[in-house]
Amino acid sequence: MAKKSTQDFLDQLEDQFVALQKKIMGSKDKYLAGHQKEYDAARETYRKQKGKLESATKSVKKKAEVARKSGTKRAKNELKKARAASVVLGDALLEAGEIMKTAQDKLNTAKPFQKKLAARAKALADFEKDWEKKQKIAEKAKAARAKKRKTAAKKK
């Protein structure tokens, strides 16, 4: 009975070990990819905002030229609207840039953690190999002891 419960305990420990190793390997694979995806999305948003700002800047230049040439009140009002839109887009671009910078910082800090996760996974794999070797050696020793007992019993 004691041997069975010990074996059950060992099986349970081994199952827990395998589950832990799977979790570490899964988190290692997903961790860096998540941060990379976040950074890529922020970079794409930044690029779009930058394009809009450049377009608005060109529009402001054109409207400023029209307002300068015509001098009408309508053209001046359009110029004011275009400048306001340009300022709003500039603020949006700054905000998108900050988001991208934050995402890039997270990505840069994720890379060393990724290395730690890889090292842990390797250590677990090495431990598992050593564990299997020890189990095989223990089984061989047990078989050798049983064989000695049988030969000793026959000699008596």
pLDDT, one tens digit per residue, over 76-129 is: 787 788 778 778 888 888 888 888 888 888 777 777 767 777 777 777 778 888
Percent of the chain exceeding pLDDT 90 equals: 0
Q: Quote the crossing angle between the two packed helices 73-155 and 2-70, to the nearest 10°.
A: 170
Does 97 reside within a domain?
yes
Confidence (pLDDT) at 52:
80
Confidence (pLDDT) at 4:
67
Q: For 47-65, what is the mean pLDDT?
A: 80
Structural element, H or E, at residue 156? none
Confidence (pLDDT) at 28:
67
Confidence (pLDDT) at 29:
67
- pLDDT reading at 132 higher than 70: yes
Q: Which domain holds residue 94?
A: 11-155
Does 94 reside within a domain?
yes
Confidence (pLDDT) at 3:
57
Sequence-distant (6+) residues with CB within 8 A of 128 are: 17, 21
The residue written with tokens 């564990």 in the block is 131
Does 23 reside within a domain?
yes
If one counts the domains in the chain, the total is: 1
Q: Please, what is the average pLDDT of the chain?
A: 79
- Give me the half-sphere count of Cα atoms (radius 13 Å) on the Cβ side of residue 136: 6
Q: For 130-137, what is the mean pLDDT?
A: 86
Per-state percent for the chain, helix, strand, coil, to nearest 5:
95, 0, 5
Q: For 14-26, what is the mean pLDDT?
A: 79
Does 99 reside within a domain?
yes
Does 4 reside within a domain?
no
Confidence (pLDDT) at 1:
44
Residue 59's domain is classified under what CATH number? 1.10.287
- pLDDT reading at 43 higher than 80: yes
